[in-house]
Amino acid sequence: MDAKSIRRRQEVDDEDGIWKYVFGFTEMAVVKCAIELGIPDFLESQQQAVTLDQLSSALGCSPSALYRIMRFLINRGIFKEVEITPSTEAALASTTPSAPTSGYVQTPLSALLTRDGEKSMAAFVRLESSPVMLAPWLKLSGRVLLSSSSGDNNLHNCSSSDAFEAANGKDVWRYAESDPAHSKLIEDAMACHARMAVPAIIQACPDLLLLHGEVVVVDVGGGDGTTVEMLVKAFPGVKGINFDLPHVVSVAPKRPGVHHVGGNMFQRIPKADAVFLMWVLHDWGDEECIQILSKCREAIPEETGKVIIAEAILTEIINGYELGTIPRMKNNTNTKNSKLQEKDHNNNNSYEVGLMLDMVMMAHTGNGLERTEKQWSHVLTAAGFKSYTVTPTSDVVSIIQAWP
């Protein structure tokens, strides 16, 4: 193939590829539709494949419209279509041969979309696909333009307009406080991620809370208390404090071994042997992070306390190479100084999710961002922490343990 043909092939591939950006919203919208219709829940409840007629009748849907929804989702690998052959008994009773029919079955991916599954991510889909959370994306260019016009070239602390506030009239925290239904969407989403993340964290760090004596752990920004309850169950003898804004903990359910405390993490954090923060610090710029971490340091014993941070850690890219790589791993590996290594980023799911999360921070918070290990080192040092370790997990988050 000559150079001209190669260029033309690349042009055709690019022309085909552009459509995923033109219609990229369709995947989220159709998955949300499936959740709202209850398709994953119904298939989960069945012991065998379900025909289109059975599914449409059970859900009260138009067969032709439901067929199109299922065709799209099967093509994405979310559901699976299988052949249903007549049973031997039915075949013997029939005087005419019957052709095989097709039916729908659940897949491991669609099982994550059930409303109440143990590892359901349906609440997260409902949150991110809600009008309140979608609207800021339409203000993203203004977020970037105002950041540039302010003359702020500091990549670690980009101060600019808040796209969420521009779209909804309040920042994400004040909006949630004023809208209990939206606040519950947020807490449900964080809880469903916790049910996936905490087992991965415990597997990677089996000694995470094996401290001396009676141990108290406070989960800062703990929402409805799901995370700290799981930690308390995993480490017998540990007492848990779920610390969040008053309007959040006031509706949090009672949980064994967990005490709910309302307050402001910028002012004071309850005393504990260990402070745990998952997906909290990425909501804030460096200045706010240092303030929060300083309050965490004040809350723990100087000699024996530690702060545990669960966040995605971005890879630093230099000329196509990774610097400070934090790979997803299933074994317990502490990483402090990673080697320079080459990697195919297009196939690195953790890297892709981290970049998407960074865009979510840009759309939904004023100064939030995902950080590299180097950036984490900066804020930890500035907050007075003398040492830290990084442990990758099988979840998108890695675990940073920091000591004063």
Residues assigned a catalytic role: 282, 311, 370
State both tokens at 235.
Answer: 């480490």
State both tokens at 350.
Answer: 């953790």
State both tokens at 43.
Answer: 């298939």
CB 113 within 8 A of CB 37: no
The helix or strand, by DSSP H or E, that contains position 57, with its residue range, turns out to be helix 52-59
CB 92 within 8 A of CB 86: no
CA end-to-end span of the chain, whole Å?
62
Q: How many alpha carbons lie under 13 Å from residue 342 in its C-beta half-sphere?
A: 2
DSSP 215: -
In terms of Cα–Cα distance, which of 276, 242, 218, 229 is closest to 401? Answer: 276
Q: How many alpha carbons lie under 13 Å from residue 262 in its C-beta half-sphere?
A: 8
d(Cα 328, Cα 210) in Å, to the nearest integer? 24
d(Cα 258, Cα 238) in Å, to the nearest integer? 10
CB 299 within 8 A of CB 272: yes
Task: Give alpha helix (H) positions in 205-307.
Answer: 226-234, 246-249, 286-299
| Ramachandran sector of residue 60 (left: φ over 0; alpha: ψ -120 to 50; beta: rest) | left
CB 389 within 8 A of CB 200: no
d(Cα 116, Cα 127) in Å, to the nearest integer? 15
Question: Phi then psi for 400, rounded to 5 degrees?
Answer: -105, 125
User: CA Rg, the chain, in Å?
Assistant: 24
d(Cα 117, Cα 38) in Å, to the nearest integer? 12
Residue in the block written with tokens 């916790």: 194
